[in-house]
Structure 1
């Protein structure tokens, strides 16, 4: 038996022994070892099945059939194969669908955890600082247990529990998973994901198609591919981690181009000037952003949102300096200083300066 198995396990044979061909005796020996390993086993679990190629999957079914032939006296153990949706090879996916269609297998798709379950899971970890982050963690990870635990681990390792006030970081292991998923997309689907990541809260299917300048039917096919890969769910990203992964892998030139295109599209849809301005800034055009930032700041100040107005005026100052308009920047700084005047709360600020 050892000599027969030596082509697969060299240490079982003699040193420097010639390699034999993979003949029927080897297959019979592998089947025998497989049967011994499953003796008295009730449930066999195969994890990370996505890493198996089609030949390995087919060989596994053949070995299983040889160990437990139909009509045999031994009971057949249950087999649970786990894999992430959208990450199987096309051949592996087709083989699984065939087994399901023939009644030989049942496909069970696990749903994401909702916010209440995320809160319970976070509570079970007994890390007090995590309690306040539960809603953000649920949105950020989309309720994916692996992504949730990896994000928490990353926050703890980087001591980010006390400083996680802005966007949560993309954990490296989750980034690797999402990057592989994105690499499997067609070019049109990848561009649709990039447009959605740039638009973020502003996006819808129609806006993504408009930003890309793509026909609706072509965009619909790309969208269907994103949903099949669990990148999108209905008309939104499946979780915020998708935004992070798409942005991390997007070339800077493409990102600037999409932001400028998004600014034009949103302007045509009468989007709030502050949102449009931020796209112009990200697109590398501070000159177009400055007047929109001033408009948004004046509106915020007039309605008593002074902190927001202050932030917008600061952005406008930076934008004007970037364009070389030092005088305009100084006028905006004076206007910004007037936010602390008593009349600011009653909307009595002077009009914004022309730029």
Structure 2
């Protein structure tokens, strides 16, 4: 593959986040914890990192998949990362002994303490962990805690306690501010409740990040110093919906395939992390909502609520519920996909055995609605019913011929003849081909 420029691996300029940055500045001045929320790829991590770097000394901590159901797993990761950065810090013996409940290697010669038996011992354990964090983080200005959606419930409750007790920090100590990120709609109920408590207590602020607007997309493309990239702003916006990660994935694909200098192609295959993130978002949908999304991908511009209700045999009320779920997940906006990349991933992930069935049902429903003949024909073709498609291709060809669009008419007649041949209707196919040859200048 072609070597990718550094600007594509990490854009040199943070764009389109002036409003969010101003809100973060305000929250920082008020001593609040900052939570950045948004869909995958929208730029939460980049914004958090850049802001923390602007504050001074900082470090980055990450929650990881698989930690959700292991108590204190995220907290232990945080502790080990900080201790690795501050190896010379000396903790009080009783604090180290309490920490050894989670990290046995920290136990002294007397070994780890016995299991906790009452609330007093639990309070002592939590106190030790708070003091350890306060001491280890002294002198840091900011900590970025990324991907809180993977954080386990015990760590979430401890974080609530720790951030609520900032008044306990020694007056001569400097405790960092936290800038945390999480994917919208993916927090565990306990983590969501803890964040809400901090917000209600005036100790935190949640800032929602949305995709970049058109002007910011143009600015981003211009900052990459890639010949021809800035001129693709409209296509990139349409294809990605302004999601920064998907923008970079699309550009990487064009560069690796040697297609950037040729301009925007008719189709850009969704690849890399952008595709994976979309697929994970789709996997969180309920089965009926996913079915509606699949139908929308196959129906394309013909998709409508009444059509979906009929094809999927859903009542209007249940369909409305599933559409609300799709809108909340930023899959659909009204009756359209939020961006083309998402549409492509949905369409390509439909089980092959389901595709012909849905196309046949769409064809039948659209036929009843007197939809454009060529649209009905295409669904019959993709539903593996070429003989049923042929009359609609002929009707579409007739309409084109009557409008003196002779080349288009001829192509449709030939398509109809091919469909009839595939169905074994050879005599009828020959007659249709003759009509194609009889069109002027065909």
Q: Is the contact between residue 122 and residue 131 of structure 1 (CA under 8 Å) also seen in structure 2?
A: yes
Match of 1:348 in 2: none
What's the offset of the Cα at 1:70? 6.1
Equivalent of residue 178 in structure 1, options 266, 273, 278:
278
Q: Is the contact between residue 240 and residue 341 of structure 2 (CA under 8 Å) also seen in structure 1?
A: yes
Q: Is the contact between residue 278 and residue 289 of structure 1 (CA under 8 Å) also seen in structure 2?
A: yes
Distance 1:145 1:327 in 2: 55
What's the offset of the Cα at 1:141? 0.9
Match of 2:355 in 1: 255
Q: Residue 199 of structure 1 aligns to a residue in which SS?
A: helix
Distance 2:405 2:158 in 1: 66
Match of 1:267 in 2: 367
Distance 1:209 1:90 in 2: 33
Question: What do the CA deviations read for 1:70-101 (whole angstroms, capped 9, x no partner)?
Answer: 69646775433222223333443444445445
Distance 2:399 2:223 in 1: 45
Match of 2:232 in 1: 133
Match of 1:325 in 2: 425
1:201 paired to 2:301: yes
Matched residue pairs, number? 340
Q: Is the contact between residue 138 and residue 176 of structure 2 (CA under 8 Å) also seen in structure 1?
A: no
Larger mean Cα displacement after TM superposition, 238-247 or 33-42: 33-42
Equivalent of residue 339 in structure 2, options 232, 239, 244:
239
Q: Is the contact between residue 277 and residue 290 of structure 1 (CA under 8 Å) also seen in structure 2?
A: yes
TM-score, structure 1 as length reference: 0.82
What's the offset of the Cα at 1:117? 2.2
1:69 paired to 2:193: no
What's the offset of the Cα at 1:45? 2.7
Q: How does 1:1-355 map to 2 (within 5 A)?
A: 1=91, 4=97, 5=99, 8=102, 27-66=126-165, 68-69=166-167, 73=171, 78-161=177-260, 162=262, 165-339=265-439, 341-342=440-441
Unaligned regions of 5+ residues in structure 2, if any?
A: 1-90, 117-121
Distance 2:249 2:237 in 1: 13
Distance 1:87 1:295 in 2: 50
Distance 1:282 1:79 in 2: 53
Q: Residue 138 of structure 1 aligns to a residue in which SS?
A: helix
Distance 1:88 1:28 in 2: 26
Distance 1:207 1:50 in 2: 36
Distance 1:20 1:308 in 2: 83
What's the offset of the Cα at 1:116? 2.7
Q: 1:187 to 1:298 in 2, by over 3 A?
A: same
Q: 1:39 to 1:75 in 2, by over 3 A?
A: closer
Question: What do the CA deviations read for 1:182-221 (whole angstroms, capped 9, x no partner)?
Answer: 1111122111111111112111233222221100011111
Q: Residue 107 of structure 1 aligns to a residue in which SS?
A: strand
Question: What do the CA deviations read for 1:268-300 (whole angstroms, capped 9, x no partner)?
Answer: 222111111111111111111111112112222
Q: Residue 170 of structure 1 aligns to a residue in which SS?
A: coil
Unaligned regions of 5+ residues in structure 1, if any?
A: 345-355
